[in-house]
């Protein structure tokens, strides 16, 4: 038998959001590698799952040492299911090292798609979602954090960040300084949980809000930089702007998407004007 590594998404809040395949994969695994074995136990209780395989811990502190052990199990033909505390393994969570090792040794890697704080926050933010980038956690040190954000000042895609609640105010202050007080953003707190809260507004406004303290899991979504001048919504201006972008090397599809963003219109509306 050939071993298989299964990256299993877990709920970010409510157990009822668990993907249907998760229970079956946990029950049928030869090995379950968990970021926190106590959370795994609670999750199995919520899903009414009895684990038949062995359980090992796999977290940031032992990830490097434990990867060769799990790789050995995979090469021996075991089905190894990897779960983290919430969301998808390897996305700002343990998993990348094991995936890389498995791929290097031609071990099959698959996934049980599940909830994602990144996509959930992006979807409810009210900010553009057609193009985005995930930046994970910002550096803890102020200087390094400032340099990272300065490098993102011209990023045109919507940006998604994870942040610890006690560092949220400092992160928002650094964002306002590097990206501008009026840059639109959304702070998404405790997504899908009982006390879910989404605060939207300019960064300066969110800094003031965070000064009272922030609790829970935090995901921050920030609007990208304006890639060019605003475009009027009349048909002539839209056609001219699309033509100019095409002349500079953009494809028709890219040009329509960019003009739609600058004009604040749906892409379909710009498409209809251009092709009318």
Residue spans per domain, the chain: 4-115, 118-222, 235-275
Give me the mean pLDDT over the 200-214 stretch: 96
What is the reported pLDDT for 205?
97
What is the Cα–Cα distance from 73 to 67, expressed in whole angstroms? 10
The helix, strand and coil proportions of the chain, stated in percent and rounded to the nearest 5, come to 45, 20, 35
Confidence of residue 1 (pLDDT cuts 50, 70, 90): confident
What is the Cα–Cα distance from 221 to 59, expressed in whole angstroms? 26
Choice among 45-54, 108-117, 131-140, 258-267 with the minimum mean pLDDT: 258-267
Domain 4-115 fold: Cobalt-precorrin-4 Transmethylase; domain 1 (3.40.1010)
What is the reported pLDDT for 92?
85
Give me the mean pLDDT over the 224-248 stretch: 86
Give me the mean pLDDT over the 47-70 stretch: 96
What is the reported pLDDT for 74?
98
What is the Cα–Cα distance from 23 to 44, expressed in whole angstroms? 8
Is the separation of the CB atoms in 226 and 264 below 8 Å?
no
Angle ∠(16,159,118) on CA atoms, nearest 5: 10
Tallying the residues shown for the chain, one arrives at 276
Kindly report, residue by residue over 105-119, the tens digit of the pLDDT: 999 999 999 999 999
What is the reported pLDDT for 227?
67
Q: How does the average pLDDT of the chain come out, rounded? A: 93
What percentage of the chain has pLDDT greater than the value 90?
A: 79
Whether the predicted model's global pTM rises above the 0.85 cut: no
Question: Where are the strands (E) in 60-167, listed by range?
Answer: 79-83, 108-112, 132-137, 158-163
What is the Cα–Cα distance from 106 to 98, expressed in whole angstroms? 12
CATH number of 118-222, picked from 3.30.70.20, 1.10.760.10, 3.30.950.10, 3.80.30.20: 3.30.950.10
Helix (H) / strand (E) containing 8: strand 4-8
């Amino acid at each position: 038998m050939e071993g298989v590594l299964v990256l299993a998404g877990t709920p970010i809040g409510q157990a009822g959001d668990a993907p249907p395949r998760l229970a079956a994969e946990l029950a049928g695994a030869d090995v379950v590698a968990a970021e926190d074995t106590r959370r795994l136990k609670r999750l199995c209780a919520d899903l009414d799952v009895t684990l038949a395989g062995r359980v090992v811990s796999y977290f940031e502190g032992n990830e490097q040492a434990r990867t060769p052990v799990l790789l050995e199990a995979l090469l021996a033909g075991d089905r190894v299911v990897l779960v983290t505390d919430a969301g998808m393994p390897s996305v700002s969570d343990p998993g990348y090292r094991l995936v890389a090792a498995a791929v290097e040794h031609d071990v099959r890697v698959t996934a049980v798609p599940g909830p994602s704080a990144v996509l959930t926050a992006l979807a409810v933010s009210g900010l553009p979602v057609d193009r985005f980038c995930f930046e994970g956690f910002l550096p803890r040190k102020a200087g390094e954090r400032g340099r990272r954000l300065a490098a993102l000042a011209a990023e045109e895609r919507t940006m998604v960040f994870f942040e610890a609640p006690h560092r949220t105010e400092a992160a928002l202050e650094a964002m306002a300084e590097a990206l501008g007080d009026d840059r639109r953003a959304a702070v998404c707190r405790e997504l899908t949980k009982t006390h879910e809260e989404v605060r939207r507004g300019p960064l300066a406004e969110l800094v003031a809000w965070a000064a009272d303290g922030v609790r829970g899991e935090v995901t921050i979504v920030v609007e990208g930089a304006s890639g060019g001048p605003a475009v009027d919504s009349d048909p002539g201006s839209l056609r001219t702007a699309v033509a100019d972008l095409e002349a500079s090397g953009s494809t028709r599809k890219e040009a329509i998407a960019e003009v739609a963003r600058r004009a604040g219109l749906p892409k379909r509306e710009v498409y209809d004007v251009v092709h009318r």
